[in-house]
Structure 1
Amino acid sequence: MDKSRLRSVIESARAAVPGDARHAASIRIRDALLDQPWVQMAGLVACYWSIGAEPETHGLVFALWKHGATVMLPVLRDDDDLDWAVYDGPDTLAPGRFGIMEPVDTRRGIDAIRTAALVIVPALAVDRATGVRLGRGGGSYDRALARVGPNVPTVALLHEGELMDGVPAEPHDVPVRYAATPEGIVRLAG
């Protein structure tokens, strides 16, 4: 199945899951992540503010922040690359491009992700053998992931059934090292 068709299938499946079930699954993902020592020790975390039927990150971002981590969230630039700004509580967000909530803090630049000790990214699917993630197709997170150091944990958040075999890949796709699902954390070959 090509990327476009797979995106459509997954987005339809996500939309069909009741909101309370998606919320419960997101809590399990959050708790599984927060139980990991490498998450607990990360002083600077790059994450994202979830939208729509994505696994919810609002509680995760808040929990990381309350436990003392500095959390950077993306700011979508006009060229579709990602700038980064620090989250400093729920009142420090405002709608950005496409209505996605972004921090109002000073922009740190596209290379700020290089300093993160943990990077959490959205995905529609991840290949269990290679770690290649299927995003929404804009390439923003592949560009950001290309800037992350080789020893930094990169994690894609997924709903049940979205860690799969045979996710279509292209040369610019950057694999993640972990998938976080409602069933737990999976270390990937990528």
Structure 2
Amino acid sequence: MTGEEFPHNAAAKQQLRTRVLDARAALTAAELATTAELIADHVDALLDRGPCLAAYVSMGSEPGTDVLLTRVWARGVRVLLPVLLPDNDLDWATYEGPGSLAAAGRGLREPRTPLLGVDAITDADLVLVPGLAVSRDGVRLGRGGGSYDRALARIARVRPPIPTMVALHPGEVGLAVPAEPHDRTVNLVVTREGVTRPG
């Protein structure tokens, strides 16, 4: 099913995206830097239980991940990062430090290391995804391309389940996110305030 089959939900999602992005645009560089440090602290504390993190390279006013990526990679955690494919699906490659990233389309930075395949995400012990908001029941609002919904669908087939987490700013948690059939939920939310479960 496509968003066109649920026009009211699709329109409501776009309105919510606009609202969140407008609020993010008002954040200062100092606020974003503090958020990046705190999110690194919170996520790093969870990785003592697993050697592999699938994450992403943040951009703009997203909660920053650069500090996290560098920190956990430096202490030996295997980090997988997405590479956007032409059909909006995500392949994955290993992060090998800040110098392993290169500018890509749409303002993204992606690893220059060999591609591992779309199913490589299932090797992770924790998956951190971007988002704009999350509902009380874990429905994540993305940017509308469906890339991470496909990735999360692959994770959903793995047993035992792989914890999935969305990184957000505090005011983006517990919002009314309209759901469509393709939407995937997350188990955890990380903000500068800590790690919580939706709801």
Q: Aligning the two structures, in what range does the TM-score lie when normalised by the shorter sequence?
A: over 0.9
What's the secondary structure of 1:138's corresponding residue? coil
- 1:158 equivalent in structure 2: 168
| Shift >6 Å, 4+ stretches | none
Match of 1:145 in 2: 152
CA contact (8 A) 2:52 2:125 kept: yes
TM-score (norm 2): 0.89
The alignment status of 1:27 with 2:34, answered yes or no, reads no
Q: Structure 2 residue aligned with 1:109, among 89, 109, 117?
A: 117
SS in 1 for 2:121: helix
Q: Percent identity, aligned pairs only?
A: 46
Aligned residues: 186
Question: CA offsets per residue over residues 59-90 of structure 1, 9 Å max, x none?
Answer: 10111111211101000000000000000011
Higher helix share: 2
> Of the candidates 65, 84, 94, which is equivalent to residue 86 of structure 1?
94
Higher relative strand content: 1
Q: Tell me the TM-score normalized by structure 1.
A: 0.94
CA distance in structure 1 between the aligned counterparts of 2:76 and 2:42, rounded to whole angstroms: 18
Give the AA of the match of 1:15.
Answer: A
Residue equivalent to 1:60: 68
Q: What does the per-residue CA deviation read over 1:109-141, in whole Å, with 9 as the maximum and x for residues that have no partner?
A: 11111111110000100112x111000000000
CA distance in 2, matches of 1:21, 1:44: 28
What is the RMSD computed on CA atoms of the aligned residues?
Answer: 1.3
Gaps of 5+ in 2: 1-10
